[in-house]
Chain A
Amino acid sequence: MKVSYHWLKELTGLDWPVEEMAERLTLCGTACEDIVSTSRYLDRVVVGEVLELHPVPGADKIRRAVTAIGSENLDIICGAPNVAAGQKVPVALIGAKLDSGFEVKKVKIKGVTSCGMICSQAELGISDDHSGIWVLDDDATVGKPLAECLDYDDYILDFELTPDRADSMSAIGIARDLAALASVKIRYPSFDLEESAESAADHIQVSIADEEACPRFTARIIRDVTIGPSPWWLQKKLLSCGMRPISNVVDITNLVMLETGNPVHAFDLDRFGSDEVLVRRAVEGEKMTTLDGKEHTLTPDVLLITNGKEGKAAAGVMGGEDSEVSSETRNILLEVAYFSPSVIRKSRRHLGIISEASSRFEKGVDPNNVPGASARVAHLFHDVCGGSVLKGVVDCYPKRIDPVTVSFRPDRCNKVLGTDIRPERMKQIFADLEFEVDGSDPMKVTAPTFRHDINLEIDLIEEVARVEGYDSIPDAQENIGPLFTPTHEEDVFEDEVRRMMTGAGFDEMISHGLVHSRQAAIIDSGLPYLKIVNPVSEDLDMMRNSLVHTGLIAVNHNVAHRNMDLRLFEIGKAYFPPDPDGLWLEDNRLMILVTGNSPASWRNASRPFDFYDVTGAIESMGEHFGWPSLRFEAETAPYYEEEVSFSIRCGDTEIGTIGQITETILKKFDIKQPVHIAELKISDLIKLSRDLSEFEPLPIYPAAPRDLALVVNETVQVGQVLERIRSVAGDMAETVDVFDYYKGKQIAEGMKSVGIAIVFRLKHRSLASQEIDKVQLDIIEMLQREFKAEIRTK
Chain B
Amino acid sequence: MSLLDDVANLRREAVEKIKGADSADTLGRIKVRYLGRKGLLTAILRGLKDLPDDQRKAVGARANQIRAELEQQIAEAVTGLSTEKSASAFDPTLPGTAQQIGAMHIVSQVMNEICQTFYGMGFEIARGPDVETDYYNFESLNFPPDHPARDMQDTFFVEGGRLLRTHTTPVQTRELERRNPPIKIIAPGKTFRNEEISTRAHVAFHQVDGFLVDEGVTMSDLKGTLVAFCRAFFGEDTKLKFRPSFFPFTEPSAEVDITCFLCKGKGCQLCKFSGWLEILGCGMIHPNVLTTGGYDPEKYTGWAFGMGVERVAMLKYKINDIRLFFNNNIRFLRQFV
Contacts and interface: CB of A to CB of B under 8 A. Distances in A.
Contact of A485 (B95, B122, B337): B122
- Among B152, B242, B255, B330, the most chain A Cβ lie within 10 Å of the Cβ of B330
Interface string A449-490: 000000010110110011000110111111111100111101
Given A416-B301, A498-B108, A531-B158, A462 B251 contact: yes
B220 A563 contact: no
Interface stretch (B26-34, B76-84, B99-107): B99-107
B95 A466 contact: no
A578 interface: yes
The 3 closest A-B pairs by CB, nearest first: A418-B220, A418-B218, A476-B224
A447 interface: no
Interface stretch (A24-32, A98-106, A633-641, A734-742): A24-32
Given A163-B151, A419-B220, A586-B131, 7 more contacts: A415-B301, A418-B220, A473-B242, A480-B182, A558-B330, A578-B160, A584-B162
Interface stretch (A237-245, A260-268, A597-605, A682-690): A597-605
Given A465-B252, A566-B330, A475 B220 contact: yes
B130 A505 contact: no
A653 interface: no
Interface residues of A, number: 93
8 contacts: A29-B243, A31-B245, A475-B224, A533-B157, A543-B131, A577-B159, A584-B129, A586-B129
Residue with the highest number of chain B CB atoms closer than 10 Å, among A471, A480, A511, A540: A480
Contacts of B149: 163-164
B319 interface: no
Interface in B116-155: 119, 121-125, 127, 129-131, 146, 148-149, 151-152
A554 interface: yes
Contacts of A486: 124
A561 B190 contact: no
A778 to B, nearest CB: 39
A310 interface: no
A510 B205 CA distance: 10
B334 A507 contact: yes
Interface in B168-215: 182, 184, 190, 192, 194-197, 202-204, 212, 214
Interface residues of B, number: 84
B333 A575 contact: no
B45 interface: no
A503 B194 contact: no
A502 B243 contact: no
B2 interface: no
A684 B227 CA distance: 40
Interface of A: 26-29, 31, 162-165, 341-342, 345-346, 362-363, 415-419, 456, 458-459, 461-462, 465-466, 470-471, 473-482, 485-488, 490-491, 495, 498-499, 501-514, 530-537, 540, 543, 554, 557-558, 561, 563, 566-569, 572-573, 575, 577-578, 584, 586, 599, 601-604
A476 B220 contact: yes
A554 B328 contact: yes
B258 interface: no
B167 interface: no
B93 to A, nearest CB: 12
A415 B301 CA distance: 9
B159 A531 contact: yes
A536 B105 contact: no
Contact of B328 (A456, A459, A482, A557): A557
Contacts of B220: 417-419, 473-476
A512 B202 contact: yes
A530 B131 contact: yes
A517 B337 CA distance: 34
A596 to B, nearest CB: 10
B132 to A, nearest CB: 10
